[in-house]
Amino acid sequence: MSSRLKVGPGHLLRLLCILLAISCTSPLFAADPPQGEGTEVWLVTYGPGEIYWQRFGHNAIWVRDAGLGLDHVFNFGFFDFQQQNFFLRFLQGRMLYFSAARLAREEFADYINENRRIRAQRLDLSPQQKLQMIEYLLEEVRPENRDYLYDYYDNNCSTRVRDVIDQALGGAMQAEFKAVPGAQNERDHTRRLTADDFWLYLGLETGLGSPVDRDISRWDEMFIPMELAAAVGSMESAGDGLTRPLVAEDVVLYESSLRPPPETTRNWWPRYLLASIAVVFLAWGLCRYRPPGLARVLSRSWLVFSGLLGIGMLLLWFGTDHQVARLNMNVLVFSPVWILLAFWKGHEKTTLQIITAVSLLSLLMNVIPPQQYTLDVLAAFLPLNMAAAYGLLRSRTPLAGQPGAPGAKGR
């Protein structure tokens, strides 16, 4: 893309032709053409939805021009389950996302049907900045350019929108926010935005390694669409010798009835501790009134399952491009060694001692380098590990009242 643009009818006609070429088959002109002269560029922010991939919100850039008949939303958040090797790419950490331009009325209708909040901020940009942004967006949605290698935190739909706006501002956004410490790190944002989903939250806490615990800047925080909207709303732009807010108009196009996520992280580990203890008591009750071999089966099954999870973590760590899964200290909780210990007959007491020692070591993960937050994982799984080790030890001695136990009476 040229860094300098000539504003004229020929240039605008070329942009329109490009859009016609990449647009969907529906009519280009909106049912209700935008009023007023000139081009409008809006940052659109969609609130979180109910499906797991909607928890972090979404955003896009909306371009309107009555003269050209433009009323399109440029969206960087598309993926296709039918793409070749989709699940293999997902496992490898090499997911392909793509960008596309859609009619605004179609785009907004989809998000309204999902009951997701729609906020629009009109950016006060110069004609040159607007045309530069439009040309870039049109190039990005071309079939040969639209695909990109997705990264959860560093190259997602929101960071791409951020970079488009920053480019139009000549790097002013990065200059203003790169040196400002973020209010929360990547794990904090992940925890607060998934807190309402019991299993999604626990799964992410289990699979995310220490890289997401690093300190980040305000610029980095804009991987969250709502954070980008807040940052844009606080900026000022300079033009004609005057300084004015970057956002000229801020409106809510649709208000969702969904409960908004918490603004900050909270202590969720007690709910996982209670759930884990409940599982332990349920297993104890089953083993108390069932054949003594059940305790051994349950204990071995859990240790094998836990060890297999640990192997999976190591594969993500060393065998994929999932940067956020590296240096995952949760392998102390899900150790592959548990598989061997589960079948180490005659050494049940040693097994209990080893698991106890490793469990005590894992309690320090929050304070020793790399200082990974693990309270939720510890609360959810340490009681199960300890119970499994103790179950193996107890299974060597029949419970009182059962055949073969001390003090048991026959009929």
Q: Are residues 244 and 294 in the same domain?
A: no
pLDDT digits (tens, 9 = 90+) for 209-236: 999 999 999 999 999 999 999 999 999 9
Using CA atoms, how far apart are residues 295 and 394, in angstroms rounded to an integer? 8
Q: In this predicted structure, what is the pLDDT of residue 18? A: 41
Check whether residue 34 and residue 168 sit in a common domain: yes
CA separation for the pair 292, 3 (Å, rounded): 76
Residue 35's pLDDT is 35
- Count of structural domains, the chain: 2
Percent of the chain at pLDDT above 70? 86
Strands 236-239 and 242-245, bridge-based pairing? antiparallel
Which of the pair, 112 or 408, is modelled with greater confidence? Answer: 112
Is 141 among the domain residues?
yes
| pTM of the predicted protein model | 0.84
Binned at pLDDT 50, 70 and 90, residue 80 comes out as: confident
Say which DSSP state 398 is in: P
Q: Which pLDDT belongs to residue 284?
A: 92
Residue in the block written with tokens 């959860």: 152
Q: Which residue segment(s) compose the domain that 363 sits in?
A: 269-394
Q: Are residues 19 and 92 in the same domain?
A: yes
Residue 237 lies in a domain: yes
Residues 6+ apart with CB under 8 A from 405: 397, 398, 399
Considering the domain boundaries, does residue 410 fall inside one?
no
Q: How far apart are CA 154 and CA 173, in angstroms?
A: 16
53, pLDDT greater than 90: no
Structure tokens at 401: 């009242």
| C-beta of residue 39 within 8 angstroms of C-beta of residue 63 | yes
Mean pLDDT computed over 163-172:
96
Amino acid identity for residue 101 in this structure: A
Q: Do 230 and 281 reside in the same domain of the chain?
A: no
Q: Are residues 312 and 236 in the same domain?
A: no
Same domain, 308 and 283: yes
* pLDDT of res. 79: 87
Three-state secondary-structure class, residue 123: strand
pLDDT digits (tens, 9 = 90+) for 89-110: 988 999 999 999 999 999 999 9
Angle, helices 375-394 vs 348-362, to 10°: value is 170
DSSP letter (8 states) at residue 33 = P
pLDDT, position 68: 77
pLDDT at 20 > cutoff 50: no
Find the mean pLDDT for residues 98-123: 97
| DSSP string of 34-101, one letter each residue | PPSSSEEEEEEEEPP-SSGGGTT-EEEEEEEETTTTEEEEEEEEE--TTSTTHHHHHHHT--EEEEEE
Domain-embedded: residue 71: yes
Q: Tell me what pLDDT residue 69 has.
A: 79
- Taking the C-alpha atoms of residue 164 and residue 139, their distance in angstroms, rounded to an integer, is 12
pLDDT at 81: 82
Q: Is residue 196 included in any domain, yes or no?
A: no
The whole-number pLDDT of residue 397 equals 57
Same domain, 145 and 223: yes
Residue 40 belongs to a domain: yes
Asked if residue 163 is part of any domain, the answer here is: yes
pLDDT for 401 beyond 60: no
Lowest-confidence segment of 98-112, 216-230, 289-303, 306-320 by average pLDDT: 289-303
Asked, for residue 302, whether it belongs to a domain, the answer is yes
